[in-house]
Amino acid sequence: MGRGGTMRANELKDGLGHLIPPGQLQPSSIEQLAAEAMSARRFSAGIGVPSVPTRYVVAMHPADRAWLSPWTEDQIARALERRADEAGMLLLGRVEVEFRIDDTQPIGQARVWCGFAGEDLLVLASPEASLQVFEQTPA
Q: Are 80 and 35 in contact (CB under 8 A)?
A: yes
The total of other beta-carbon atoms located within 10 Å of residue 94's CB is 11
Alpha-carbon gap, residue 126 to 68, rounded angstroms: 39
0.85 exceeded by pTM: no
Class (C level, CATH) for 21-133? alpha beta
- 50 CB burial (10 A radius; 0-12, 13-18, 19+): middle
Per-domain residue ranges for the chain?
Answer: 21-133
Give the C-alpha separation, 62 to 95, whole Å. 23
Query: Residue 28: what residue type?
Result: S
Residue pair 51/45 in contact by the 8 Å Cβ criterion: yes
pLDDT tens by residue, the chain, 139 residues = 444 444 444 565 656 665 666 678 889 999 999 999 998 888 776 666 788 889 999 999 988 898 888 899 999 999 999 999 998 888 878 899 999 999 999 989 999 998 876 655 544 545 555 445 444 433 4
